[in-house]
Amino acid sequence: MMPIDSNNIKITSNYGNRQYMYRGKLIKDFHHGIDLIGGSNILAFEDGVVTSISNKGEQYGNACYVRIKHSNEYYTLYYHLKSGSVCVNVGDKVIKGQKIGIMGATGQATGVHLHFQIDKGSSASSINPYDYLFNNKPFIQNEELPTTDILLMVKKAIRGDYGNGEIRKKALGNYYDEVQHQVNENYKHNTTNWDNIRLY
């Protein structure tokens, strides 16, 4: 799973020590993530809970971002998003492949890209995301979602949070078949009001 909705993703800056020109000055630092270009929509890398966001920023100023905590105690950070594009809120449960914003150039950015980072709550604990992105290393072992989470996804699908057709299929990933079955059953039994939605 890639954090960008594109089949043409390229790395512009790797994890680790680097140097680059920023506003006419040579910068040397340790890069705690990977910079990626290609595509526009930014997607949740795995299921998780949104722990912080910033939805207003500008280039060379404050950056827009989303931070998500996952079940394995790691966090993912999506940085430099387009100002005003963040479409999730703190406390939201998100699923793998769900759109969370649009690529931008807010913050310390020389151009439009995504800074993607994996850590345990801060940059000091960051790890290299490369193998998870490009070598199919599993980030989270596949586990069944609790029933309560399936029910929440069904409710959100009926509300329209995941869109329809292929968009919904992509957003729900491995859970699509079960969620869609439950959506269909709720429509069949006329139980599509939020408080009446149930699992069949």
CA distance 65 to 43: 12
**What is the pLDDT, as a whole number, of residue 196?**
93
Per-residue H/E/C for 41-93: EEECCCCEEEEEEECCCCECCCCEEEEEECCCCCEEEEEEECCCCCCCCCCCE
Token pair belonging to 162: 């995941």
Write out the chain's pLDDT in tens, 200 residues: 899 999 899 999 999 999 888 888 898 999 999 999 999 999 999 999 999 999 999 999 999 999 999 989 999 999 999 999 999 999 999 999 999 999 999 999 989 999 999 999 999 999 999 999 998 888 886 555 677 688 999 999 999 888 888 889 888 888 899 999 999 999 999 999 998 999 99
pLDDT at 179: 93
Note the pLDDT of residue 116: 98
CB of 139 closer than 8 Å to CB of 96: no
Domain ranges in the chain are 10-134, 147-196
Residue 160: how many CA atoms within 13 Å on its side-chain side? 0
The CATH code that applies to domain 10-134 is 2.70.70.10
Is pTM, for the whole model, over 0.75? no
The count of residues in the chain is 200
Q: What is the pLDDT of residue 1?
A: 82
